[in-house]
Amino acid sequence: IAVDSTKTNKEPYRPQFHFTPEKKWMNDPNGLVYYKGLYHLFYQYYPDDIVWGPMHWGHATSKDLIHWEHQKIALFPDKLGLIFSGSAVVDIKNTSGLGTAENPPMIAIFTYHNMDGEKAGRKDYQTQGLAYSLDEGDTWLKYTGNPIIKNSTQKDFRDPKAFWNSETNLWNLVLVAGDHAQFYTSKNLINWEYQSEFGKNVGAHGGVWECPDIFKLKVGNSNEEKWVLLISINPGAPNGGSGTQYFVGDYDGKRFTTDQKDIKWIDNGSDNYAGVTYNNTPDDKRVFIGWMSNWSYARDTPTKNWRSAMTLPRELSLDKVNNDYVLKNKPVLQLEKQLKNEYSNESMTLTANKKAVINYDNFNQSQVQLASENKDLKMVFSNDAKDSLIIEYNAKQKVFAIDRRHSGLVNFEQSFGKEIHKTAVPNIVSNTVDFQIILDWSSIEIFLNGGVYSFTEQIFPNKPYTKLTILSTEDQELKNISIQYING
Ligand code: FRU
């Protein structure tokens, strides 16, 4: 189920079921919006090289979030600047007047990055612009009154996320300004009123704030509802480079507040950045897509014709664990339709320090699932090229680790394969631990206990992994082991 599988899925490291651009450079997902049966995915795109360059918005659409169709480039740079990250909405009531009631416009709000302004040392070179489509996203026109949000003093001022707030009946927008987020409201998506700021003294500040998003979720099965604010930062992530933190709090359409003291990350792997969520999903699900890379080495990864992929689309939910709010994420249900059972075992006894080995054709296109007894567990994926990818859960210390130091090609950049990525996992409180591990040709995504923790990492094995070795320092019973092949 690769994008355009007849042409592309045999290229080295081309993901088989993750979105990639047909060719050239991609970074952040942009303009995630659902309209008339299609999920739109726009993305930061440079069509002339496989490294970052003057940004455009690439475009793809999908009916099911798994199979994507490439569309033509949606937004090109113009005299106001390059087209940086942003969001899209459907202006159903035609509040902007840019369409008609019968044919409401789709509206994209993005950042203009003005290179001349930056070179001249001015501070106002990032502003927000608007573009609209009257043909359901196929072609886009820039609004003639751009920029719609000007900037007088702030060097970093970008990545607007706009959405309809049905509680206040206003358009809302959040953007980031260096070390904080700013909130705006509007009646028509064109004239925006500044409301408040958040974040100067809370959260992680190891790098500049980027790509905000804000949305409301129910807490578990209770009637409580909370707002979640996503903020990407680069650098300053727990495993180096780029990462996405979140805040759980309250928002009245104008101001966001939180009691949260600690720093929380949506993903503890090193390759999930700049992720944001869909506007207008049909089933009211909160669907997230992240860029599966890290600015530390995004330009160096060993692919030839294109660079980087998106994470699997994931459904977000909020829960309370250890009396604290936890934002969970797990692959969207649509993925299940693509799974074909290859191996299953309801119960397997693991004897302390004795290896259990499962040989398998090709783990690079698989989902591995199992439940362990909340005891130590180590899983090693390997091949006959001597590559090994090690996943380890230390139950006593409550630490989870991914070791990709010997997982395949790692030396294209010095930090990529240098460290074991370790994460404290205090919110594993159950008697069993559910592991869901999804391997594509150049990525691994791991979800513990239905997404209480997730870990996303790029990998570049020299050959497909064909062997899974499972071991523990304690006797234990593994349950519901399944290995599924992911296919169209
Ligand atoms: C995040 C980011 C955004 C910016 C875009 C430029 O990865 O730096 O803040 O809009 O990439 O491509």
- Cα angle 104, 106, 112 (rounded to 5 degrees) comes to 145
Point out the ligand 1 atom lying closest to the alpha carbon of residue 291: 7
Distance CA 124, CA 362 (A): 51
Strand (E) positions, 273-337? Answer: 273-277, 287-291, 306-307, 314-321, 324-331
Distance CA 446, CA 351 (A): 24
pLDDT of residue 488: 58
CB-ligand 1 contact for 311 (6 Å cutoff): no
pLDDT of residue 8: 46
Point out the ligand 1 atom lying closest to the alpha carbon of residue 55: 12
pLDDT of residue 9: 63
Average pLDDT over residues 169-189: 98
- Is 86 a residue whose pLDDT tops 80? yes
Under 8 Å CB-to-CB from 307, ≥6 apart: which residues?
24, 25, 26, 50, 51, 293, 298, 299, 301
**Which of 27, 109, 242, 310 for mutating ligand 1's site (highest number of atoms within 8 Å of CB)?**
27
Distance CA 19, CA 64 (A): 12
- Is 70 a residue whose pLDDT tops 90? yes
pLDDT of residue 41: 98
CB-ligand 1 contact for 159 (6 Å cutoff): yes
Average pLDDT over residues 43-61: 98
- Atom 6, ligand 1: which residue's CA is nearest? 84
Tens of pLDDT along 366-401? 999 999 999 999 999 999 999 999 999 999 999 999
Please say if 440 is a catalytic residue.
Answer: no
Averaged pLDDT score across all residues of the chain: 96
- Is 87 a residue whose pLDDT tops 50? yes
Instruction: Report residue 6's pLDDT band, with 50, 70 and 90 as the boundaries.
Output: very low
pLDDT of residue 302: 98
Point out the ligand 1 atom lying closest to the alpha carbon of residue 232: 1
CB-ligand 1 contact for 213 (6 Å cutoff): no
The bridge status of strand 24-35 relative to strand 306-307 is parallel
Instruction: Report residue 487's pLDDT band, with 50, 70 and 90 as the boundaries.
Output: confident
pLDDT of residue 38: 98
Q: Identify the DSSP state of 441.
A: T
Closest CA to 301 of 165, 415, 419, 460: 460
Point out the ligand 1 atom lying closest to the alpha carbon of residue 210: 9
Under 8 Å CB-to-CB from 380, ≥6 apart: which residues?
388, 389, 390, 391, 467, 468, 469, 470, 471
Ligand 1: centre distance to CA 84 (Å): 6
CA 330 from centre of chain: 11
**Which of 128, 159, 208 for mutating ligand 1's site (highest number of atoms within 8 Å of CB)?**
159
Ligand 1: centre distance to CA 24 (Å): 17
What is the enclosing helix (H) or strand (E) of 357?
strand 356-359
pLDDT of residue 284: 86
What are the structural domains, with CATH classification, of the chain?
5-9+17-331 (2.115.10.20), 335-486 (2.60.120.560)
CB-ligand 1 contact for 82 (6 Å cutoff): no
Instruction: Report residue 441's pLDDT band, with 50, 70 and 90 as the boundaries.
Output: very high
CB-ligand 1 contact for 143 (6 Å cutoff): no
- Cα angle 275, 281, 287 (rounded to 5 degrees) comes to 30
Average pLDDT over residues 271-275: 98
Ligand 1: centre distance to CA 114 (Å): 14
- Is 131 a residue whose pLDDT tops 60? yes
pLDDT of residue 7: 44
Distance CA 69, CA 72 (A): 10
Ligand 1: centre distance to CA 112 (Å): 11
HSE-CB of 143 using CA atoms within 13 angstroms: 24
Q: Strand, helix or coil at 337?
A: helix
HSE-CB of 243 using CA atoms within 13 angstroms: 25
User: Is the ipTM above a cut-off of 0.95?
Assistant: yes
CB-ligand 1 contact for 28 (6 Å cutoff): yes
Query: Is 429 within 8 Å of 453 (Cβ atoms)?
Result: no
CB-ligand 1 contact for 468 (6 Å cutoff): no
Distance CA 127, CA 110 (A): 8
Ligand 1: centre distance to CA 111 (Å): 9
Ligand 1: centre distance to CA 210 (Å): 7
**Which of 211, 233, 245 for mutating ligand 1's site (highest number of atoms within 8 Å of CB)?**
211
Helix, strand, coil share of the chain (percent; to 5): 5, 50, 45
Query: Is 56 within 8 Å of 76 (Cβ atoms)?
Result: yes
pLDDT of residue 10: 80
Catalytic residue among 28, 271, 319, 387: 28
Ligand 1: centre distance to CA 28 (Å): 7
Helices (H) and strands (E) in the chain, counts: 2, 34
Distance CA 282, CA 6 (A): 30
The answer to which of 3-7, 350-354, 360-364 has the lowest mean pLDDT is: 3-7
Ligand 1: centre distance to CA 44 (Å): 8
CB-ligand 1 contact for 128 (6 Å cutoff): no
In the chain, what percentage of residues exceed pLDDT 90? 94
Average pLDDT over residues 434-449: 97
Q: Identify the DSSP state of 118.
A: H
- Atom 8, ligand 1: which residue's CA is nearest? 210
Cα dihedral value 268, 272, 273, 278, nearest 10: -110
Tens of pLDDT along 139-159? 999 999 999 999 878 899 999
